[in-house]
Structure 1
Amino acid sequence: MRSPRPLPAAIALVGVAAVVAVAVWRPWTGSAEAASGPPQITVSRSQCGQGWTDAKTGRQTIIVHNTGDAAAEVDLVELSSNKVYGEVEGLGPNTSAPMDVQLGAGRYVIRCLIEDTDAITGPSVTLAGDAKGGPAVVAVTKNEMLPPVKQYEAAVAAGVAGLAVKTDKLRGDVDAGNLAAARADWLRAHLAYNSLGAAYDAFGDFADKIDGSDTGFHSLERGLWHNASAAGLKPIADQLAANVHSLRADLPNEQVDPNDLGLRAHEIMENALQFELTGENDQGSGTSLNTALANLDGTAKVLAILNPVLKPRYPDLPQVQKWEARVRALLTAHENTPVDRLNRTTREQLDGAVGELLETLAPVAAICEVRRGS
């Protein structure tokens, strides 16, 4: 389970039915050019939401410009429902970004979330017309996310405790020189680790020590499946078990960021697609598909915990469940099969199903993001 790749500094939210897309940064244009372009809204501590003078219903692009001296997040909110219809994150000073929205009749405001400043709400704008509003996110509060985070932290703590038992058994096999048993117990322990799911940041440096490409489980895998001696494997097994116990001891000092929980639901399977379904992580055991199935278990665990937040907010949640079941069926049917032995049809089916699952998982992070001022 590798550490996640960095996210873009800014995103634009086009609603929960669409994938969160990277915003295209544009320099602030001069007034003559601006007059003929999309509406341009000013963001700063003193001018939040100024300039939205020709508001209308329907699909539209609004240019948001930060005239202040600090980075800002900008939300477009419908007041009666507290739904967020558009969002730009990481908007730096003297930069602008497009916000693509689809608005129906209602009363809207721009909410400016600026570093070291309480949420600022701009002037309200009332829209009338027959156009239907697009998908939107019902803002999530920190209090709503705290119970799922606590539940997840408890599940991770229990999982790491079980992992410690399994790595101790694996170490015992190697110490006894029973490498056949060690190979079987390596797989059990490795799958236990990869089913833990979304606790990447909470694991800190232990993630790479335990399951890095050349350390921990993978270093031991390489030796177990390439005729290394028990004596040569003993220091690796000892260090792996020690790192797992150190992780367990350190967990009470670590916390899962509420925003990470929704984000990791997508990243777990993104990493599985990149590292497991390509066979890149395989060091000889041929169990990458087993690992991908464990990753899917981790994703399912996160989704189950987030269900009270997602169910009233995400109409496409049944599609997530549909594609999760499809991926599970394919992986289960080919457990213990090395990736390079899959025929072309099966690989295309797997890649396609995981791709569909990732598409439906993409909005989860935006839906579960804790927003100041919500």
Structure 2
Amino acid sequence: MRPARLSAVAAVVAAAALTAVTGCTEKGDDGEGVVQVTATDDTCEVSAKEFPAGHVELAIENKGSKVTEVYLLFPDDRVVTERENIGPGTTQRVTAEVKPGDYRIACKPGMKGAGIRQDVKATGKGAAERDPRLDKAVAAYRTYVQAQADETLPLAETFAKAVKAGDLEAAKKAYAPSRVGWERTEPVAESFGDIDPKVDVREDGLEDGQKWTGWHRLEKSLWHDKKITDEDKKLADQLVTDLKDWQNRVGTADITPTSMANGAKELLDEVATGKVTGEEERYSHTDLVDFKANVEGAEKSYALLKPVAQENDAALVTELDKEFAALDALLDKYRADKDSYVFTSYDTVGAAGRKELSDAVNALAEPLSKLAAAVVTK
């Protein structure tokens, strides 16, 4: 789950870490297709309210005192692309593929709330015909996501059945396996509308008035409260219902080559700034299962886009291959065995181990931030 907010201290730490990784993105020549976004603590200014459809780059500068995030949204608030954890005084660039139509650019100072919004429009007929290899990559990735959703449902039903039976130990055992498919598809989680906050929100990520549902609400009952209530049994049924909704949305979700690439990068940022701290699975300590699934999902996006990226930026591909291999090898050290999806409890991983994981994630996130631009380079 991409957290809706961070504490003030955590946000500053996250910004410092990510500035080192992504805050020094090279500034290219700004021209047609580049929209300057200037964010402050109370404004969100854009250089153009209209821009040509096709490949659009947001050149973001945070002139405020708070960590911010910037979103390009459809009118119904589905996410086209985003860039989170933009520290004060830093710049970021993010490439997206947009069709003609109305959109919104939102800046979220403090990474809270709906943000300060500007209505914008993509005009014209869109980009030239896309490389057919990228269309093939999107189709293959959609098939992958659908398979993950289809495989998740029976595992989630097993988890829900144990909760409804009041079987605490069986529910604990079924919890982490039921999450793997979802975690693998998190690079495009926000393409599914409101599913993410329904099934994967943490207590400190709730918006005002939002009811807490999903895996983490049940996680707290199982490990922290050590009991299953009648309300938990209802929440287990709701989780399955929401996941069926997710399963049905995969076929119509708006997925593009750039959303695959940007989503993989944003997911690695989330791992670096939140999951490595143990915040995600704070009660069950099954964080390493999530990490591995997240990396597998990001690597799947990359593998499908790799043939085009290889032609456009061979050096980037070499670096990404190296960093993915290093992170995979590091995570595999924590497996029960090489063929198992059982990992060490994260509360037994000390500060040195967590730093090693964080460093490896950051080393991958930096080149991954360049993947979207590499696949649209002409």
TM-score by length of 1: 0.63
Aligned to 1:21: 25
Structure 1 residue runs of 5 or longer lacking an equivalent are 6-17, 25-39, 45-67, 76-83, 92-97, 99-113, 121-138
Q: 1:354 to 1:159 in 2, by over 3 A?
A: same
Do the aligned partners of 2:257 and 2:372 also contact (CA within 8 Å) in 1? no
What corresponds to 2:88 in structure 1? Answer: none
Q: Is the 8 A contact 1:73 1:90 kept in 2?
A: no
**Which of 223, 226, 249 matches 1:225?**
223
In the other structure, the counterpart of 1:277 is: 276
Select 1:187's aligned residue among 139, 151, 176: 176
Shift of 1:348: 2.3
Which position in structure 2 is the counterpart of 1:341?
A: 348
Q: Which residue does 1:241 correspond to in 2?
A: 240
Alignment-derived partner of residue 339 in structure 2 = none
Query: Corresponding residue for 1:106?
Result: none
Partner Cα distance (1:264, 1:199) in 2: 6
Give the corresponding residue for 1:291: 290
- Aligned letter for 2:365? L
Query: Is the partner of 1:284 in helix, strand or coil?
Result: coil
Consecutive unaligned residues of structure 2, counting only runs of 5 or more, are: 6-21, 34-46, 61-90, 92-120, 204-212, 336-342
Contact 1:74–1:89 (CA<8 Å) still a contact in 2?
no
Instruction: Give the whole-Å Cα distance in 1 for the aligned partners of 2:344 and 2:200.
Output: 21
The letter for the 1-side match of 2:145 is V
- Aligned to 1:225, the other structure's residue is in SS state helix
Q: Give RMSD over aligned pairs.
A: 3.6
Contact 1:3 1:207 in 2 (8 A): no
CA spacing shift, 1:73–1:341, aligned 2, 3 Å: farther
C-alpha deviation, 1:162, in angstroms = 0.7
Aligned to 2:155: 166
State the match for 1:147 in structure 2: 136
Instruction: Report the Cα distance in structure 2 between the residues aligned to 1:364 and 1:355, rounded to whole angstroms.
Output: 15
SS of the aligned residue for 1:141 comes to: coil
User: 2:51–2:123: 8 Å Cα contact kept in structure 1?
Assistant: no
Match of 1:359 in 2: 366
* Identity across matched positions, percent: 24
With over 3 angstroms needed to count, the CA separation of the structure-2 counterparts of 1:204 and 1:115, relative to structure 1, is: closer
CA contact (8 A) 2:153 2:240 kept: yes
Q: CA deviation at 1:287?
A: 1.1
Counterpart residue identity of residue 217, structure 2 = S
User: What residue in structure 2 maps to residue 317 of structure 1?
Assistant: 317
Residue type at the aligned position of 1:298? G
For residues 51-98 of structure 1, what are the alpha-carbon distances to aligned partners after superposition, in whole Å with 9 as ceiling and x for unaligned?
xxxxxxxxxxxxxxxxx97544799xxxxxxxx9xx96469xxxxxx9
Distance 2:58 2:52 in 1: 4
The offset of 1:255, in angstroms, is 2.6
Which of 1 and 2 has greater Rg?
1
The aligned residue for residue 326 of structure 1 is 326
Q: What CA deviation, in whole Å up to 9, does each residue of 1:171-198 have, x standing for no partner?
A: 1112222221111111101122101242
SS at match of 1:311: helix
The one of 196, 219, 222 aligned to 1:207: 196
* Cα drift, residue 368 of structure 1: 2.1
Equivalent runs, 1:123-142 vs 2, <5 Å: 141=130
Give the number of equivalent residue pairs: 272
Write 1 or 2 for the structure with the bigger share of helix. Answer: 2
In the superposition, relative to structure 1, how do residues 4 and 142 fare at CA in structure 2: closer, same or farther (>3 Å)? farther
Measure the CA separation in 2 of the matches of 1:74 and 1:245. 33
Deviation at 1:240, TM superposition (A): 0.4
Work out whether residues 265 and 364 of structure 1, in 8 Å CA contact, stay in contact via their aligned partners in 2: no
Pick closer, same or farther for the CA change 1:116–1:182 going to 2, 3 Å.
same
Code of the aligned partner of 1:342: V
Q: Where does residue 256 of structure 2 map in the other structure?
A: 257
> 1:153, CA displacement in angstroms?
0.8
CA displacement at 1:150 relative to structure 2: 0.9
- Asked if the contact 2:3/2:201 (under 8 Å) is kept, the reply is no
1:276: Cα distance to partner? 1.1
Distance in 2 separating the partners of 1:4 and 1:151: 30
- The corresponding residue for 1:51 is none
Q: How far apart in 1 are the matches of 2:190 and 2:24?
A: 22
Q: Which amino acid aligns with 2:171?
A: A
CA offsets 1:307-359 (integer angstroms, 9 cap, x no match): 22222222231221221122122222235445453233222221211111111
- For 1:261 and 1:21, the matched residues in 2 are separated by 19
Q: Quote the offset at 1:259 in angstroms.
A: 2.1
Instruction: Give the alignment's TM-score, normalised by structure 2.
Output: 0.63
User: Which residue of the partner structure matches residue 31 of structure 1?
Assistant: none
CA contact (8 A) 1:19 1:359 kept: no
Question: Cα offset for 1:231?
Answer: 3.2
Alpha-carbon contact 1:198-1:264 (below 8 Å) kept:
yes
Contact kept, 8 Å, 2:163 with 2:228, in 1: the verdict is no
Per-residue Cα deviation, 1:134-176 (whole angstroms, up to 9, x for no partner) = xxxxx99354421111111111111101111111111111222
- Displacement of 1:260 in angstroms is 0.4
Cα distance in 1, alignment partners of residues 254 and 57 from structure 2: 26
